[in-house]
């Protein structure tokens, strides 16, 4: 706490200073002044918390001086020292915002008690202000989170809330430009999300900063790590903006980003349709368009230097599985950023085939997953990580635990339709502890039990969705998730879409081909 003393007599100022128990009060005397003018200048420069002032000073009395003090700093505590025991002075002091007034001659105990009360009140005010500031910050943070959660919910609902505009305004979203043809949804997806889970967060931060001044733009992200940009202004150049922010992110983080923009829709009531439109555009952009394009891609693929996997084979044989995964990702996804996805898919297929031949024995083919059903760089990278599991399971140079791991993984693959299968029951079936099984998975495959089961289930589910007309419940039974509602939740958590949304996107892509 900082305190100043104002009195036209120096000896009285010194006397007051001597009576203050500075250590007990936790205060510092930062200035002494003989008149109101110089004291006011000191208040502006020193920002004291407490003022001890005589009521009678040259040129200005203590009460009008007090009023000016409070104008400069409303939280300042002014204590008037007066020789007038007059009710009118007391009334005027209170009206002027004076904290308290003391009668001359001032007693040390009374002075210190009054200053201590002023200090206590200042501390209480500061504490309340800090709490209020923290509360405002928490409210803003929570409002931001609630706003994003609500928009995400509306993205996934086939029919938007009837009062969606009012709800959005409650969350601070301006919607008045959501006129006919005004709603656009853009999607950005980063390829390296598997190897660097922080990239989606960094990408979202960059996108939010880029659009910070655009009041009709909302930013959210989905559970697949994609950033969703929503504009309700018919004047908004979405595609151009996404191109610009993509260039910024790619240069800053050296990653690979794909983006797509929906058709125009009439307003927030069509947010779900716009979201599906953008997803479909993202999917179709990265799909082979025609036989001519495929043929052209094959020509381009011939110009790609032959990929060697000897270094990966060496790392696998040394048991450095994590390093092998990183090297594979670098070989396939980091060397040539100009490749189209159709060429990238062929590159991925050729590399995995070569890796199987170099590392694995016959048997790996039973785990085949259809790579053509994965149509963005990030999805292809996920597919490659999943394909590494059977390659490791059937590797030629087997170690002491490889045969046991192979039996366990084959058992998992054959029993995906068993909803009661879990790590504990699996460990019991093979007469080992659950913790020992976890160590084996990490050591031999670089994955957890949950990760392996998820990979196998998603591979099978995506294949069934693309090749059959099976109902959701029947697909769920096939992969050990018989509850159709939970299946949709599980699928959405991994891909960012419900099963029905994925089907709609497939239909849209098939119609556009």
Dump pLDDT digits (tens) for 451-489: 889 888 888 888 888 888 888 889 999 999 998 888 888
pLDDT at 17 over 90: yes
Whole-number Cα distances in Å, 209 to 137, 203, 205, 217 = 19, 10, 6, 12
Label residue 196 by pLDDT band (50, 70, 90): low
Scan for tokens 């930013």, then name that residue: 219
Q: What is the rounded CA–CA span in Å between residue 372 and residue 383?
A: 10
Measured CA to CA, the distance from residue 388 to residue 417 in angstroms comes to 22
Provide long-range contacts, Cβ within 8 A and 24+ apart, for 69-74: 69/40, 69/43, 69/97, 70/96, 70/97, 72/40, 72/43, 72/44, 73/43, 73/47
- Whether the predicted pLDDT of 507 surpasses 60: yes
pLDDT over threshold 70, residue 35:
yes
- Do the domains 2-127 and 157-285 sit in the same CATH topology, yes or no? no
Tell me which fold the domain 2-127 belongs to. Rossmann fold (3.40.50)
Query: 186-200, 315-329, 426-440: which range is least confident on average?
Result: 186-200
The most confident of 157-166, 387-396, 472-481, by mean pLDDT? 472-481
CA distance 253 to 244: 15
pLDDT at 402: 78
Domain boundaries, the chain: 2-127, 157-285, 303-512
For residue 299, pLDDT beyond 50? no
DSSP letter string, 180-236:
TT-BEEEEEEEGGGTT-TTHHHHHHHHHHHHTTT-TTEEEEE-TTS-EEEEE--TT-
The CATH T-level fold of domain 157-285 is Alpha-Beta Plaits (3.30.70)
Highest mean pLDDT among 102-116, 248-262, 387-401: 102-116
Higher pLDDT, 263 or 396: 263
What does the mean pLDDT of the chain come to?
81
For 258, the token pair is: 């794909």
CATH of domain 303-512: 1.10.10.60
The secondary structure of residue 174, as a DSSP letter, is: -
Report the pLDDT value the prediction gives residue 512, as an integer from 0 to 100. 52
Query: What six digits make up the tokens of 504?
Result: 């709609």
Q: pLDDT tens digits for 87-108?
A: 566 666 666 678 888 888 889 9
pLDDT of residue 323: 86
Helices 434-445 and 449-467 cross at an angle (nearest 10°) of 70
Does the pLDDT at position 295 exceed 60? no
């Amino acid at each position: 706490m900082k305190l100043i003393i104002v009195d036209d007599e120096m000896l009285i100022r010194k006397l007051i200073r001597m009576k203050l128990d500075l250590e007990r009060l936790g205060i510092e005397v930062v200035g002494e002044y003989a008149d109101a003018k110089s004291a006011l200048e000191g208040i502006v420069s020193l920002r004291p918390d407490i003022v001890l002032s005589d009521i009678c000073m040259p040129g200005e009395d203590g009460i009008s001086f007090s009023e000016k003090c409070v104008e400069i700093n409303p939280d300042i505590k002014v204590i008037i020292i007066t020789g007038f025991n007059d009710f009118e002075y007391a009334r005027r002091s209170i009206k002027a915002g004076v904290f308290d007034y003391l009668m001359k001659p001032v007693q040390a105990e009374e002075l210190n008690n009054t200053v201590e009360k002023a200090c206590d009140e200042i501390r209480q005010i500061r504490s309340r202000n800090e709490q209020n500031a923290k509360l405002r910050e928490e409210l803003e943070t929570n409002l931001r989170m609630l706003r994003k959660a609500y928009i995400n919910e509306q993205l996934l609902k086939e029919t938007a809330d009837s009062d969606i505009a009012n709800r959005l305004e409650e969350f601070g979203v301006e919607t008045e430009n959501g006129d006919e043809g005004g709603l656009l949804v853009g999607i950005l997806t980063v390829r390296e999300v598997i190897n660097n889970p922080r990239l989606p967060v960094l990408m979202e931060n960059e996108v939010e900063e880029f659009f910070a001044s655009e009041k009709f733009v909302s930013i959210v992200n989905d559970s697949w790590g994609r950033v969703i940009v929503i504009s309700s202004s018919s004047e908004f150049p979405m595609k151009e903006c996404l191109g610009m922010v993509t260039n910024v992110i790619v240069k800053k983080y050296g990653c690979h980003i794909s983006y797509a923009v929906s058709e125009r829709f009439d307003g927030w009531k069509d947010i779900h349709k716009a979201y599906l439109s953008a997803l479909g555009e993202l999917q179709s952009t990265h799909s082979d368009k025609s036989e001519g394009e495929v043929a052209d891609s094959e020509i381009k693929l011939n110009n790609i230097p032959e990929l060697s996997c000897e270094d990966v084979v060496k790392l696998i044989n040394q048991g450095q599985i994590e390093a092998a995964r990183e090297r594979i990702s670098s070989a396939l996804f980091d060397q040539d950023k100009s490749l189209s996805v159709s060429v990238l898919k062929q590159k991925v297929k050729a590399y995995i085939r070569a890796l199987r031949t170099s590392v694995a024995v016959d048997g790996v083919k039973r785990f085949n997953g259809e790579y053509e059903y994965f149509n963005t760089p990030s999805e292809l990278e996920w597919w490659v990580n999943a394909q590494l599991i059977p390659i490791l399971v059937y590797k030629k140079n087997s170690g002491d635990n490889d045969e046991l791991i192979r039996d366990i993984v084959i058992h998992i693959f054959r029993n995906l339709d068993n909803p009661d299968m879990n790590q504990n029951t699996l460990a019991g079936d093979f007469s080992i502890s659950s913790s020992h099984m976890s160590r084996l998975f990490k050591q031999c495959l670089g994955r957890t039990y949950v990760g392996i089961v998820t990979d196998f289930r998603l591979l099978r589910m995506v294949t069934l969705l693309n090749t059959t007309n099976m109902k959701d419940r029947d697909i769920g039974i096939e992969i050990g998730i018989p509850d159709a509602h939970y299946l949709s939740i599980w699928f959405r958590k991994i891909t960012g879409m419900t099963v029905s949304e994925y089907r709609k996107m497939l239909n849209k892509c098939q119609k556009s081909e």
